[in-house]
Amino acid sequence: MDIINRKVVEYTESFTTLEPDIVRRLVKASEDGLDYTNMISGRQVGILLRILVQISGARRILEVGTFTGYSALMMADVLPEDGELITIEMNQQYEEISKPFFAEPPFDEKIFQIMGNALEVIPHIEGTFDLVFLDADKIHYPKYYPILKERIKSGGLLIVDNVLWGGAVLDQSTEKAEAIHKLNETIRTDKDAEQVMLPVRDGVTFVRFK
Ligand SMILES: C[S@@+](CC[C@H](N)C(=O)[O-])C[C@H]1O[C@@H](n2cnc3c(N)ncnc32)[C@H](O)[C@@H]1O
């Protein structure tokens, strides 16, 4: 299902800031190295993330699901000098593409990638976060919410991607759509959270914890 009319998507994208040069080089490397790049969150979500990082003053970010590093680079690029972004990925093929980009200064001082299953990795990461971007392992989305919520500071943000799952959440026709819908319900009924779900690309929810 096209969630938004394609022409409207093209129009709105054309009025959205272009990615920085390093991110465009990363997209090219991903396209050259892989048969598919549709997991990249894309320009509209990417620029939204950058704006949120900047206006929230976030210094410590956790990302669940690096893929080849698009959203990690987008956010780290606008972090302050002493800010850090920890990003978790389990597929080494994607790590090979992101690695040289994450090694470029100043990203080498800001981005820390951990390889492994996020549900197992997160308990071993210390401290709290100003902003968390959840963008992996949709089938387990409901499990991530309590784990991430307790690690997000008061006033901090959780951003969840793919909350519409191509429209399949409307009738929960697949197991993944059912899991994503379950998380959507949990967020809606969480009295500690203020949230907005937007039909941008595949649906994004922004949650602010009191
Ligand atoms: C949608 S992509 C992330 C896209 C990325 N945030 C971007 O904007 O380019 C999801 C990624 O999560 C990874 N992944 C899936 N399940 C995972 C898990 N349990 N732990 C860590 N990474 C996982 C996949 O290999 C995939 O690269």
141 lines ligand 1 (CB under 6 A): no
Q: Report the number of distinct structural domains present in the chain.
A: 1
Residue 31 forms part of a structural domain: yes
- Ligand 1 centre to CA of 198 (Å) is 21
Q: Is the pLDDT of residue 89 over 80?
A: yes
Res 156: pLDDT: 98
Q: Ligand 1, closest atom to CA 40?
A: 9
SS3 200: coil
Neighbours of 66 (CB within 10 A): 29
Q: Is the pLDDT of residue 1 over 80?
A: no
Domain that holds residue 68: 6-134+144-160
Residue 68 forms part of a structural domain: yes
- Ligand 1 centre to CA of 106 (Å) is 23
27 lines ligand 1 (CB under 6 A): no
- Ligand 1 centre to CA of 70 (Å) is 11
Q: Ligand 1, closest atom to CA 140?
A: 19
Residue 125 forms part of a structural domain: yes
Residue 105 forms part of a structural domain: yes
Judge whether 6 and 165 are in contact, CB under 8 Å.
Answer: no
Judge whether 156 and 192 are in contact, CB under 8 Å.
Answer: no
Residue 61 forms part of a structural domain: yes
Q: Which two tokens stand for residue 104?
A: 């470029």
Judge whether 57 and 29 are in contact, CB under 8 Å.
Answer: no
Express as a percent the part of the chain with pLDDT over 90.
97
Q: Given ligand 1 and candidates 89, 92, 138, which is best to mutate, with the most ligand atoms within 8 Å of its CB?
A: 89
- When pLDDT is averaged across residues 29-45 and rounded to a whole number, the result is 97
Residue identifier of the C-alpha nearest atom 7 of ligand 1: 40
Residue 81 forms part of a structural domain: yes
Q: Is the pLDDT of residue 99 over 90?
A: yes
SS3 61: strand
Residue 37 forms part of a structural domain: yes
Burial class (CB in 10 A: 0-12, 13-18, 19+), 46: buried
Judge whether 58 and 206 are in contact, CB under 8 Å.
Answer: no
Give the CATH number for residue 24.
3.40.50.150
Peptide bond into 146 cis (omega under 30): no
Place 3 in a pLDDT band, splitting at 50, 70 and 90: confident
Q: Ligand 1, closest atom to CA 121?
A: 20
Peptide bond into 106 cis (omega under 30): yes
Neighbours of 189 (CB within 10 A): 8
